[in-house]
Amino acid sequence: MPQAYYERDTAIIPSSYWPATLIDLAITRAIPEHKLLRHTGIFCEDFFHTDHRICPEQLLQLIHNIQKNYTAHDISFLLGHQLLPSNMANLNQQLVTARNLIELIDELIEHQHIACPLINIRCTYEGDQLVICWQDACGAEDAFIFLVETMTTAICSMTRWRSNTRLPWTLYFAHKKPEYIEQYQVHLGSDLHFDCQRNAMSIARDYCYQAWTTIHTTHTDDMLPYPLDIPSKGFLTEVYDYLNNNISTAPNLEQTAADFGMSCASFKRKLKKHRSHFQAIYDAVRKDLAVYWIHKEGWSSEQVAQRLHFHDVANLRRAFKKWTGLTLLAARH
């Protein structure tokens, strides 16, 4: 059954964390304050209240305003360097005291509603690799690439600091190679792959449990209070996880809506509010599973077609081409 989730209009984001850091960076780039805050519903006095929160929709509007008024493409990466270990008391303490990479990733997932509220983390082992995938939590639309750049930089930066070395991450991006590739190279290194089937970062499992140097925690008197009453995942992530976990039953719109405790009409309206629809998420789940089973597990086309409830391989072949732009044969290489 679905777990608790937050939505686009749920006030979960402490104004003094993501928004304040982002606004400080934007101001250093000479973006006028009135252009920054336009249509966000955020006011300067909000930052004087440590318990003030905004919703994902407001933060997305703030990012949109920055992208509209600044074209140098470095803010997402600079933001990533500044986000972690964060100025939120409990999150900071957990990240700073993590004993190895896997503990740090586990803490990020547990506290992702604070660390990365607009895109959520999906972490899996694939063979000898630990793989972190990024999922849209609330309907990021044009801001999604910005958010992937930010959080990929944040993890690379944080793990480099904690391990005292640049870890050999391999980075995958679903978008095409950007014109500002130098920003990726400066902030993320050279092992970059674009036009991929997913936004992800991977590293050999051998690095997961290598012990890190113990860091004595700093005084938390100047840290900000940590909100404890927030679900850990956004609505779109929860729908994706529900469909992924129930793929064996061929979930449909009616059953999914019922399990989420609402009518089909209400469920479709909620999906639309989050800039998505049922078929888009269901296809994303099936695409991810098909790519994994074919490329990583070596399953036959017949096995994948049966597991994803296609009547025959021809239907799977057409769907797979639509989802990925690749043939089933090409996906095996």
Residue 8 confidence (pLDDT)? 97
CA dihedral for 322, 323, 324, 329, sign (positive or negative)? negative
Smallest Cα–Cα separation from 125: which of 148, 101, 98? 101
Smallest Cα–Cα separation from 255: which of 278, 277, 287? 278
Residue 284 confidence (pLDDT)? 97
Residue 33 burial (CB count, 10 A): 11
Reply yes or no: is the peptide bond before residue 85 cis, omega within 30 of 0.
yes
Q: Which domains does the chain have, with CATH numbers?
A: 13-206 (3.90.1520), 246-331 (1.10.10.60)
Place of tokens 């690095």: 207
H-type helices in 144-220, by residue range? 144-163, 181-188
C-alpha pair distances (Å), 29 with each of 15, 66, 83, 220: 20, 10, 18, 30
Query: Are 131 and 123 a contacting pair, CB within 8 Å?
Result: yes
Residue 227 burial (CB count, 10 A): 17
In angstroms, the CA 163 to CA 56 distance is: 32
CA dihedral for 145, 199, 6, 53, sign (positive or negative)? negative
Residue 47 confidence (pLDDT)? 81
Residue 62 burial by CB count (10 A; 0-12/13-18/19+): exposed, middle or buried?
buried
Q: What are φ and ψ of residue 63, in 5° steps?
A: -65, -40
Residue 206 confidence (pLDDT)? 96
Residue 331 confidence (pLDDT)? 81
Q: What angle do CA 237, 70, 276 make, to 5 degrees?
A: 25
| E strands, 137-247, in order | 170-172, 192-193, 200-204
CA dihedral for 72, 113, 23, 31, sign (positive or negative)? positive
Residue 227 confidence (pLDDT)? 59
Smallest Cα–Cα separation from 238: which of 77, 7, 72, 81? 7
Query: Are 111 and 233 a contacting pair, CB within 8 Å?
Result: no
Residue 322 burial by CB count (10 A; 0-12/13-18/19+): exposed, middle or buried?
exposed
In angstroms, the CA 266 to CA 257 distance is: 8
Smallest Cα–Cα separation from 207: which of 161, 163, 172? 163
Residue 224 confidence (pLDDT)? 61
Residues 6+ apart with CB under 8 A from 272: none
Residue 296 confidence (pLDDT)? 83
Residue 204 burial (CB count, 10 A): 14
Helix axes of 313-324 and 278-291: crossing angle, nearest 10 degrees = 100
> What is the model's pTM?
0.93
Query: Are 158 and 257 a contacting pair, CB within 8 Å?
Result: no
Residue 333 confidence (pLDDT)? 72
- Which residues of the chain have a pLDDT value below 50? none
Q: In what order do the strands lie in the sheet with 119-126?
A: 119-126, 129-136, 200-204, 170-172, 192-193
